Amino acid sequence: MIIVTGGSGFIGSALVWRLNQLGTDDIFIVDHFANDEKFRNLIPLRFKDVFDKEEFLEKEIFYDLLKDENIDTIFHLGACSSTTEANFDYLLRNNFEYSKELCLGALDFNARFIYASSAATYGDGSKGYKDDEKALQDLSPLNGYGYSKHLFDLWVRDNGYSDQVAGLKYFNVYGPNEYHKKEMRSVVHKCFGQIKESGKAKLFKSTSDKYGDGEQKRDFIYVKDAVEMTLHFYENKDLNGIFNIGTGEANSFNSFIKPIFKTLNLPENIEYFDMPENLIEKYQDFTCADTDKLKKSGYKKPITNIEDAVTDYVKNYLDMKNIYLH
């Protein structure tokens, strides 16, 4: 039996989709639905039951499942992932305290605990992007979201759990099932809508002397590849500690969205606009996962190159109006 928190969210629902493909449906979904449309991600999926995130702990459903359902693995992917969230009390409760309780429950019942950390913990990248537990204290996240994730990474390490649980630092994941994320959607999703409406895409102007407009670079990873990497830690239960989930390559925003025009047989047309003042000091101009540790762990599956991945996303999902994996 498996628990997936954030199971109707972006990466969580994609993970359940892949588990279903592999013949697994003994899955409990945990999530917070509120007023968004992410419940639609559950429609094509197979699972045993679904629970509200708050009731899951408050009504001790979690502990009942641990006692009665032989829970083998907990994928803790649920979190507030907004990099602009200003209420740190909320981030502390949702991303830190909630994670601690789930982790301790898993350890008490000898269940595998795999949780989502984030590349946002690396801050401006001046300390590099190496997934080294010993260097965690040197990192300086740029926003509350990144810091809330960083706090849990530190808590796991400082309490001696790094050799019992796996923390996955996801870089810039994009792909099907992200439609509900509003401003946290990938640039591909946003620009596809802009291109269909007006024939042009909009990107931030650069605020750095190091990068031209649209030449800021990120490690963009297709959600299908991110899920395969996540399952690597499910299949290899002796792999614990912090690991980066990325491609190991940095691509510019310009190169990221150009395949949209190509797939739609439209001329490239990109407009650059000023970045909002409140984002400038919190913006990562460059990210690139150090994937040496992942490779040494035995992960050998090929990673979809950016043009093929964006083409698949646009052609088989966005342009076909398939809002979720199928």
> Token pair 């913990």 is at which residue?
121
Strands (E), the chain: 2-5, 27-31, 49-52, 73-76, 112-118, 166-170, 172-174, 201-204, 217-218, 220-222, 241-245, 251-252, 270-273
For the stretch 73-102, pLDDT in tens is: 999 999 988 888 889 999 999 999 999 999
Range of the domain at 190: 179-217+250-284+313-318
Q: What is the mean pLDDT of residues 269-294?
A: 92
Together in a domain, 157 and 254: no
pLDDT category of residue 323 using cuts at 50, 70 and 90 = low
HSE-up of residue 277 (Cα within 13 Å, Cβ side): 0
Per cent of the chain over pLDDT 70 is 98
> In CATH, what number is assigned to the domain containing residue 56?
3.40.50.720
Together in a domain, 29 and 96: yes
- Residue 326 counted as domain residue: no
- Residue 54 counted as domain residue: yes
Report the domain count for the chain.
2
Together in a domain, 234 and 151: yes
Q: 0.85 exceeded by the pTM?
A: yes
Together in a domain, 109 and 199: no
Rg, C-alpha atoms of the chain: 19
Q: Please give the Cα distance from 10 to 186 (Å, whole number).
A: 11
| 153, containing H or E segment | helix 144-158
Q: Please give the Cα distance from 148 to 117 (Å, whole number).
A: 9
Q: What is the mean pLDDT of residues 297-307?
A: 97
Together in a domain, 34 and 156: yes
pLDDT category of residue 324 using cuts at 50, 70 and 90 = low
Give every CB contact of residue 323 below 8 A, 6+ residues apart in sequence.
40, 176, 177, 179, 317
Q: Please give the Cα distance from 280 to 284 (Å, whole number).
A: 9
Q: Please give the Cα distance from 91 to 145 (Å, whole number).
A: 7
- Residue 325 counted as domain residue: no
- Residue 324 counted as domain residue: no
Instruction: Find out whether 80 and 145 touch, Cβ atoms under 8 Å.
Output: yes
- Residue 323 counted as domain residue: no
Nearest partner of 256 among 283, 287, 228, 218, judged by Cα? 218
**Which is it for strands 251-252 and 217-218: parallel, antiparallel or unpaired?**
antiparallel
Nearest partner of 126 among 141, 143, 148, 144, judged by Cα? 141
The pLDDT value recorded for residue 153 is 98
Nearest partner of 41 among 9, 15, 71, 67, judged by Cα? 9
SS3 for 204-251, per residue? ECCCCCCCCCCCCEECEEEHHHHHHHHHHHHHCCCCCEEEEECCCCCE
Instruction: Find out whether 49 and 29 touch, Cβ atoms under 8 Å.
Output: yes
Distances (CA, A) of 208 to 204, 214, 276: 11, 11, 14
For the stretch 103-133, pLDDT in tens is: 999 999 999 999 999 999 999 999 999 999 9
Instruction: Find out whether 313 and 259 touch, Cβ atoms under 8 Å.
Output: no
The pLDDT value recorded for residue 326 is 66
Q: Please give the Cα distance from 145 to 134 (Å, whole number).
A: 21
- Residue 213 counted as domain residue: yes
Together in a domain, 102 and 74: yes
For the stretch 20-70, pLDDT in tens is: 999 999 999 999 987 678 899 999 999 999 999 999 999 999 999 999 999
In this model, does residue 282 exceed pLDDT 90? no
Query: Rounded to 5 degrees, what are φ and ψ at 138?
Result: -85, -10
The end-to-end CA distance of the chain, in Å, is 23
Together in a domain, 63 and 119: yes
293-322 b/e (C-beta count within 10 Å ≥ 16 → b): bbeebebeeebbebeebbbbbbeebbeeee
Taking the alpha carbons of 120, 125, 126, 128 in that order, is the dihedral positive or negative? positive
Together in a domain, 150 and 260: no
Q: Judging by beta carbons within 10 Å of its beta carbon (0-12, 13-18, 19+), is residue 286 exposed, middle or buried?
A: middle
| Beta-bridge mates of residue 221 | 173
Tokens of 26: 């003994």
Q: Looking at the annotation, which residues are catalytic?
A: 145, 181
> In CATH, what number is assigned to the domain containing residue 278?
3.90.25
Query: Rounded to 5 degrees, what are φ and ψ at 203?
Result: -130, 155
